[in-house]
Amino acid sequence: MNVLVIYAHPNPNSFNAAIREQIERGLREGGHSFTVVDLYKDNFNPVLVIHDQMRRSNMKDDPETAHYRELIRQADHLIFIYPVWWYGTPAILKGFFDRVLASGFAFTYDGLVPKGLLRGKSAWVFYTIDSPRWYARLVRRNAEWVAVGEATLRFCGLRPVKRFVFSGVKRSTERRRHKWLDRVYRQVRYGLT
């Protein structure tokens, strides 16, 4: 399987970085080919600029983001790794969605009905959140997941889309983090088919 990993965290010593390491290890040992896109190392510009030469209707042809669209085209499976900040993705990842998952590439409309164009591809989302899981679910109504899983990835035709949430990270013990990382490794090593 050809996997594209999209990573969005600026700190190389973060728990997200440890998740990324286990994902890469699992992919390697599972015999998968993969490419890692580190948005911060790439200095990805998340700002969507519209002007006379670049409109929303022709973002699919933007030469600055063509490389990323080609990596998505080639991938069978996408893996996203990021922290939840303010109940959303880091701005750099939101900008990636805005600029790369463009109309005519990732989705289109059949009249008023949206149609995802990334069908035949699947996605896993690994994210960390400092809030307890019950708080994110009951008080915030999974806002962090609805925006990414439903309104972005599934909207673009990706199926299935599965999430792996690591909640309460700030107060988690070292033992718990080791268990989480082992789970990440096993999921990637043995869960991709």
Cα four-point dihedral sign 39, 42, 43, 48: negative
Asked if pLDDT for residue 167 goes beyond 90, the answer is: no
Q: pLDDT tens across 100-159, in order?
A: 999 999 999 999 999 999 999 999 999 999 775 755 666 566 778 888 998 999 999 999
**CA pseudo-torsion sign 162, 41, 73, 102:** positive
Distance CA 137, CA 21 (A): 28
For 83, the token pair is: 């922290």
pTM: 0.93
The domain tally of the chain equals 1
Percentage above 70 pLDDT, the chain: 92
CATH number of the domain enclosing 163: 3.40.50.360
- Residue 59: the pLDDT is 82
The model's confidence at residue 67, banded by pLDDT at 50, 70 and 90, is very high
Instruction: Quote the CA–CA distance of 35 and 53 in Å, as a whole number.
Output: 31
Range of the domain at 166: 2-191
What pLDDT score was predicted for residue 144? 81
pLDDT score of 132: 59
Dihedral-angle region of residue 36 (phi above 0 means left; psi in -120 to 50 means alpha; beta otherwise): beta
Over the stretch 26-56, which tens digit does the pLDDT of each residue have? 999 999 999 999 999 999 999 988 777 766 6
The pLDDT score that the predictor gives to residue 135 is 55
Helix (H, G, I), strand (E, B), or coil: what is residue 38?
Answer: strand
Q: Which two tokens stand for residue 69?
A: 């669209």
More confident residue, 59 or 96: 96
